[in-house]
């Protein structure tokens, strides 16, 4: 769901007005574990270099308990 919302925001509010390269970093737990958190460091360095970052919230479907 988060990716759908981000796609809408990007297509309607950003790309029609700005020509910017967009970098993506998967900060999910699986990706962080697989890279021993290197992905987090790479993401932080990219934000530092660009001066901006957007973090899409994680939306998890909860099972009824």
Query: Would the pLDDT of 62 be above 90?
Result: no
56: in domain: no
Query: What mean pLDDT comes out for the span 13-21?
Result: 91
The domain in which residue 13 lies consists of: 2-50
58: in domain: no
Report the chain's mean pLDDT, rounded to a whole number. 88
25 pLDDT band (50/70/90 cuts)?
A: very high
55: in domain: no
Q: What is the number of structural domains in the chain?
A: 1
| pLDDT score of 59 | 65
Q: What is this structure's pTM? A: 0.69
Q: Kindly tell me the sign of the dihedral angle through the C-alpha atoms of 30, 57, 18, 53.
A: negative
Residue 42 is classified by DSSP as H
28: in domain: yes
| pLDDT score of 15 | 92
CB count within 10 Å of CB 47 equals 15
């Amino acid at each position: 769901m988060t990716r759908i919302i981000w796609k809408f925001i990007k297509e309607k509010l950003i790309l029609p007005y700005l020509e910017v390269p967009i970098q993506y970093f998967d900060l999910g737990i699986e990706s962080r574990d697989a890279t021993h958190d290197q992905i987090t460091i790479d993401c932080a360095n990219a934000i530092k270099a660009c001066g901006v970052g957007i973090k899409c919230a994680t939306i998890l479907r909860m099972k009824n308990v």
